[in-house]
Structure formats: structure tokens, C-alpha cells
Chains A and B, each alone.
Chain A
């Protein structure tokens, strides 16, 4: 069965069409892999019967020549996506047992393309975190191990998604990215993760965190797989008023197009204090790879970069405090009874929300409260415009930007941090793209001296995911990243 797990998505599609393998065999192998790696805690629900029923239907469609773009490919779904008839909790106690009577648009698109749902994947509670440690189901674990064999975080918030794809317990997975929640875990787990342009994928049916920043995207093993999955995920959706009508580019064809003659910017502000020297080395290596492939590397400046993180930590909590007001113990989710209505709200929300979520709701409530709105929220929105302006100016000169994905490799689970601000620094290279609404992709570039993966990030113009896939395709080929994690299904450990 191990041979089945070796296949990437493009290869698996090919083998399915040639009837060399069946969707039921492939799905069975992934369900087995998920059980074999259950210790990584990256699934919060495995939907085996549902998956096998879908796989049997896929095999019929393949036999009748009606295969979809993702026909027969096993996919894991971040538990932030609502899936009809299947528990969807945002990994929060306040939504424990919630079974949506509807399907998110993104997952509906995946199933319409023939994708097979394996189950729901662990994430930070309401996607708030950078290590998957705030989940009500406990932390997901990174299948990669350092020298000392301690458990490492897979990153967050889409930690279960990145962990499952790296551990080969899902061939592909969905994620969401509000401040780096796809790109940072992709880098920590050595897989490919794309945050599309804001508006490219519908947000309908995804549990909302910060609505002006949230975007869904794919996790895969290769760049070509990523373009394949993204092509199926994206759609215009009248149910999301921010959904774009711009036509989708040929992403699958772009992967092999190369970067000859392309102008790639290197932003000087993406060198920060406390950054791992191996990250800098990989970044320089990435520049050399692109130069060797015929791109022109150009130094650019994004002067407001250092203000992106503080602006984000005003805007995101503000939007979250508003979005999470709906969890009131009345219509769905947890309720803690009390004498009065307000007492019921307060008791329910105190018991249902974890510490990090409560902290962010309170920050958001404060920055939106009378007397502080202008000083914090309006100020942050003005800085947001300046940050977007920096990118607009850079993209007058260059076609894409190359940066590190994260300032360090994955860190140990349970690392004691007294200061929440230190945790926020994980997102320093990813947050600016969310504020500006730009697409970004993380691609594995190499491993540290401790054997942990590091990623490179490519940022592009709005709705120009094709350029990202061109650059990412070159980086992937040059990096020749074939190292696999210790705790992989079918692996040695």
C-alpha cells in the first residue's frame, strides 16, 4: 500500500485515469495512513464511511469517462470549513457538536470536482494562533522532528492541514490564511501552501475570523498539485459579496513556464532582528536560483513593513470581536445557563472561548470602543493603506517579490512564552500580504542544520496567481526538496 502514498496528486490522477489504481484503493490507503499517524493529532474527525462511499462513486465516474479535475483524490478539510452533516467546530468548545445544514462553497467546489473528503483537520481555535496550540482538541504535531526528538508545532493556524499533507495522511488539504495561517505552517512542515488574492476563493461557509483578511487556499506536496487544487477551489460566488468576477488564469499551465525575463523584487525590510541566519542563507540561495533561471533580481523597499504586524493586531481582533459576537448560546453551540439573558451570554462565552480567543475579543472590543476608535482602529486602517501603497509601488517595477516565509523553523510544542507579542512575530513576513489582499505562496526550500524544513515565500500582484506558480515552480525544481519527515505514514518511524 505504501506505493499509493508515494504518488503526488498529478501522478495519482494519471494512475486513476489509466485504471492502474482505483479511488477506493487510494482512499483506503489514506484512511489507513491517518490511523497510523493518529499520534500527530492532525485530524479531529475522520469520516471513513463517507470517504469510501465518495470513492466508489469516483470510480464509477472514472469508468464512464466523466472524471472531474480532482476525481478520486483524498482531501482533508480544515475544521474551519462548514461541511454539511459533518461536525464543524473551528476547534472551539463553543461550537463542539455543531453540525452545519449547509456546505461551504470552497468544499462544495472540491467535491463537485470529484475530490474525496477524508475528514476534518485540527487548527487553532477560530484560526487564532501560530502553532495550532490554541485548539480545543489539543495541539497538532509536526511530523518533522529535530535532533532531540521533541514534538514540534506544525505552525498555525492551519496546523493540522500542513501536518497531514507532510505526514501523507492527506494527499491535499484546505486551509485558511488571515495573517499567514497557510504559508507559515506550510513552511514549518515542508509543503506547498498558497494564500490566494483576497476575493479569489469564496468565504461563504467558512467560520469567520477577520472578514477583510480571511482567504481559503490549498496545501499540497508539489507546486503542480497546488495549481490543480486551486483551479478547482476558486469560483465566483454571489453568496460572498467580496468574491471576484475576474476570470481565473491558467494556473496549471503556468507551473512549468519558467521565470526567464521576469523581474523579481527583494524587499530590504524583510531582514529583521532575531532572524535565523539559516533563513537568510536560504533566501540568498533562492535569489541565486531565480537569477540562474533567467530572472532579474531587483532590490526594492517596502518602507512600512514593520508597521504591518501592529496594524494587523488591531484590525484582526477588531473584526474578530464583531464576528464572534454571534456565539451567544441562543441559536447553536454551547450554552451555560444563568438567571438572566446577559448572565447566560457571559457565562457561555467565558466557558466556550479559550484564553487566546478571549484575549483577542477583548483587544478588539477595546480598540473599537468609544474614545479609542480613532486612535487605534482608524489609525491602523490608515497604516493599512500605506502598506498597500508600498506594494503597489513595488509592483510598478517588479512582477513578484521573493522573501523568507518565516523568521525561523518550527519550534517545540509548549514552548513557554509569557509575552503574546513574541508569538505574533511568527507572522512577520506573511501578515503584510493579508493587509494588502495580495496572493502569496510558500514553497519548501531546504532544511536547517537540525534537519527541519524552511520555506521561501513569493508574493504577487492581485489576481496574478499564475506568476506565483511560475516562480514557485522554478524554486521547487532548483531546491530539489526530497527530504521527508520522520513521522510520515509508511515511513521509517
Chain B
């Protein structure tokens, strides 16, 4: 499996990273270098092997459904790039 310029543009779009056109070709080459190398995994027989997502060996703990923290709007907004009246401000999304 390898990626071309169009696929790289699609990945960049999914990742919400603006990649200039002249970077698409070199990036495709870099990504293919990595993808060709990780394709080595195909030679491993994984029939009847369950995927391993967590090594903790314990089930995720449950906690009481209660409020333990909060009511800190100043903390939440203390690093905001643009805010107004206790809200985050973003470019207009609805016409």
C-alpha cells in the first residue's frame, strides 16, 4: 500500500493541517518510506490473536456520578486566544 499526492491531500484535510501544494509530493515520499517499512508486519501470523489495546490488566474503575470539581470559568478561559463575556470566540460557522 502506498499513498499518492491526492491521498496526502486527503489525509491533511482529515488531520486539519494546511499542507501547501508543493509539499504534497515530498510528503507522499516520506510517508511511503514509513508505510513501506511498517508493512513488515504483514509477515507476522496474527490469526486468532486478539488485539491488545491496554496493558493495565485491570478493568477501568467506576466512580460515583457526582461533581468533584468545576465552577472555574476564569481558569478555563485563562489561556483562551480569543474570548468574550465568558465564551470562546471562533470564526462564524452559521450564515
Contact B81 A365, beta carbon cutoff 8 Å: no
**A386 adjacent to B80 (CB under 8 Å):** no
Q: Which residues of B contact A307 (CB under 8 A)?
A: 40-41, 44
Look across to chain A and name the residue whose beta carbon is closest to the beta carbon of B46.
A382
A268 within 8 A of B: no
Interface size of B by Cβ–Cβ distance < 8 Å?
A: 52
Chain B positions within 8 Å of A101 at CB level: 72, 75, 78
List the A side residues contacting B90 at CB < 8 Å: 330, 341, 344
For residue B35, which residues in chain A have a CB less than 8 angstroms away from its CB? 363, 366
Is A342 touching B37 in the complex (CB atoms < 8 A)?
Answer: no
Question: Roughly how many angstroms separate A213 CA and B26 CA in the complex, as a whole number?
Answer: 30
In the complex, what residues of B have CB within 8 A of residue A314's CB? 38, 41
Q: Within the assembled complex, what's the spacing in Å between the Cα atoms of A308 and B10?
A: 28
Tell me the nearest residue of chain B to A352, going by C-beta.
B17
Chain B residues with CB under 8 Å of A98's CB are: 79
Residues of A within 8 A of B12 (CB): 362
B34 engages A349 (CB within 8 Å): no
**Which residues of B lie under 8 Å from residue A366 when comparing CB positions?**
3, 7, 11, 31, 35
- What residues of A have a CB within 8 angstroms of the CB of B71 in the complex? none
What residues of chain A lie closer than 8 Å to B11, measured between beta carbons?
362, 365-366, 369
Contact between A350 and B53, CB atoms less than 8 A apart: no
What distance in Å separates the Cβ of B66 from its nearest Cβ neighbour in chain A?
12
The answer to whether A349 and B41 touch (CB under 8 A), given A199-B56, A242-B54, A359-B31, is no
List of A residues within 8 angstroms of B13 by Cβ: 346
The A interface is mostly helix, strand or loop, or mixed, namely helix
A341 touches B93 (CB 8 A): yes
Q: Which residues of B contact A341 (CB under 8 A)?
A: 90-91, 93
For residue A331, CB closer than 8 A to chain B, the reply is: yes
Q: Does A171 contact B (CB under 8 A)?
A: no
- Collect the chain A residues with CB atoms within 8 Å of residue B50's CB: 382, 385
> Who on chain A is nearest to B58 by CB?
A244
Question: Does A380 lie within 8 Å of B81, measured CB to CB?
Answer: no
Knowing A99-B78, A330-B81, the reply to whether A362 touches B49 (Cβ < 8 A) is no
Q: Does B22 contact A (CB under 8 A)?
A: no
Q: Once bound together, how far apart are the Cα atoms of A321 and B91, in whole Å?
A: 24
Q: How far is the CA of A311 from the CA of B41 in the complex (A)?
A: 7
Contact with A along B47-67 (1 / 0, CB 8 A): 001111111111011010000
From the candidates B18, B37, B38, B51, name the one contacting A346 in the complex (CB within 8 A): B18
Given A101-B72, A379-B41, does the pair A362, B31 have CB atoms closer than 8 Å? yes
Check if A381 sits within 8 Å of B53, measured CB to CB: yes
Once bound together, how far apart are the Cα atoms of A382 and B56, in whole Å?
16
From residue 95 to 140 of chain A, which have CB atoms closer than 8 A to chain B? 97-99, 101-102
- With a cutoff of 8 Å between Cβ atoms, the chain B residues found around residue A365 in the complex are 11, 14-15
Shortest Cβ distance from residue B50 to the other chain A in the assembled complex, whole angstroms: 6
A-B contacts, 29 listed (Cβ < 8 Å): A101-B75, A212-B55, A238-B61, A307-B40, A310-B40, A310-B41, A311-B38, A313-B34, A314-B41, A328-B16, A333-B81, A339-B91, A341-B91, A358-B19, A362-B31, A363-B31, A365-B14, A365-B15, A366-B3, A366-B31, A379-B44, A380-B38, A381-B53, A382-B46, A384-B52, A421-B34, A421-B37, A435-B55, A437-B55
Report A's interface with B, CB cutoff 8 A.
97-99, 101-102, 198-199, 212, 238, 241-242, 244-245, 304, 306-307, 310-311, 313-314, 321, 325, 328-335, 337-347, 349-350, 353, 358-359, 361-363, 365-366, 369, 372, 375-376, 378-386, 388, 419-421, 435-437, 462
